[in-house]
Amino acid sequence: MRIGFLFPGQGAQTVGMGKDLYEKYDEVKEIYKKASEILGVDVAKLTFESSEEELSQTKNTQISILIMSLGILEVLKKNGIKAEMSAGLSLGEYSALMYAEAINFEDGIKIVKKRGELMQECTPNGNWSMAAILGLEDKKVEEICDSVKSGFVVPANYNCPGQIAISGDVEGVKEAIEKAKETGAKKAVELKTSGPFHTEKLEEASKRLFEELKKINIDFPKIDVVKNIDGMAYKNSDNIKEILAKHVINPVRFAKSAEYMIECGIDIFVEIGPRKNFNRICKKN
């Protein structure tokens, strides 16, 4: 039995997520307390009491999901549950690297908070959206995005065979949704996100994030961490900071990540987050 931990990204959030764990486990409450002291933000109040609109702002979403994930890890640790490999979807890769002791707690929450702020601040003026397309091959979704005339849209997250998230402006995403439905997609729906994530539109955020990453220490992971950017485990020759900076302007290759973990012998996946999205994804890989 080989266990792999999977950490979610933006879009998994919901108001009140993690409150049951917070109220039940002192270890979880301590994580929220430490994070709040370091950041100067009441993370528990933000996560449990804010509006859906406020929590869905990128600067709030990312830190809220990260802290919930870290709290869950404390509960797993208490119960002796450990992973041999980890991966995360976009934001989730920071959680994975923190679990693998590549990034310490304080640096991790600070850089994730900064990442969320930069991705929000550097989003160009306009109306941006993302959508999930289910039931079409990757190539077909790529062709649909290329054919859109009303706006900008590109594939952003390759989640699993038959499931891709697209990203762009509202007009482009809406046209892509309609074309996907006409082409036979099982489902095509907008997601709860607020920017053109994993596209060229966030080039400025990528550059500024790299400058922030230079300020923190990142060690080589103590267990294998699978990269979003190519679906392979980090190797010694990788510049982790450059790779993390490039995440925000490159597609997430989560399907390849899951395939790689399965090839490495991972047979039990534990999802560390608010929802059960990865269970369905991994079953399809």
Task: Find the CATH number of the domain harbouring 184.
Answer: 3.30.70.250
Tokens found for residue 35:
């994070």
Same domain for 147 and 119:
no
Same domain for 264 and 214:
yes
Active-site residue flag, 64 = no
Q: Is residue 195 in some structural domain?
A: no
Task: Find the CATH number of the domain harbouring 27.
Answer: 3.40.366.10
Instruction: Give per-residue pLDDT as tens, 170-209.
Output: 999 999 999 999 999 999 999 866 678 899 999 999 999 9
Same domain for 209 and 115:
yes
Q: Tell me, what's the pLDDT at 67?
A: 97
CA angle 155, 159, 165 (to 5 degrees): 35
43 pLDDT higher than 80: yes
pTM above 0.75, yes or no: yes
Same domain for 103 and 36:
yes
Counting the structural domains of the chain, the total is 2
> Which of these three, 162, 190, 218, is where a domain ends?
190
Q: Tell me, what's the pLDDT at 283?
A: 53
Q: Is residue 161 in some structural domain?
A: yes
Same domain for 155 and 23:
no
Name the catalytic one among 86, 198, 206, 247.
Answer: 198
Q: Which residues contact 45 (CB under 8 A, 6 or more apart)?
A: none
Q: Which domain holds residue 119?
A: 3-123+200-284
Q: Tell me, what's the pLDDT at 194?
A: 64
Same domain for 116 and 135:
no
Instruction: Give per-residue pLDDT as tens, 85-104.
Output: 999 999 999 999 999 999 99
Same domain for 95 and 20:
yes
Instruction: Give per-residue pLDDT as tens, 143-154.
Output: 999 999 999 999
Active-site residue flag, 198 = yes
282 pLDDT higher than 80: no
Name the catalytic one among 69, 90, 129, 167.
Answer: 90
Q: Tell me, what's the pLDDT at 14?
A: 87
CA atoms of 45 and 64, how far apart (whole Å): 10
Same domain for 217 and 104:
yes
23 pLDDT higher than 80: yes
Asked if 68 contacts 207 with a C-beta cutoff of 8 angstroms, the reply is no
Same domain for 273 and 142:
no
Q: Tell me, what's the pLDDT at 276?
A: 64
Q: Which of 15, 97, 91, 102 is nearest to 56 (CA)?
A: 15
Asked if 163 contacts 133 with a C-beta cutoff of 8 angstroms, the reply is yes
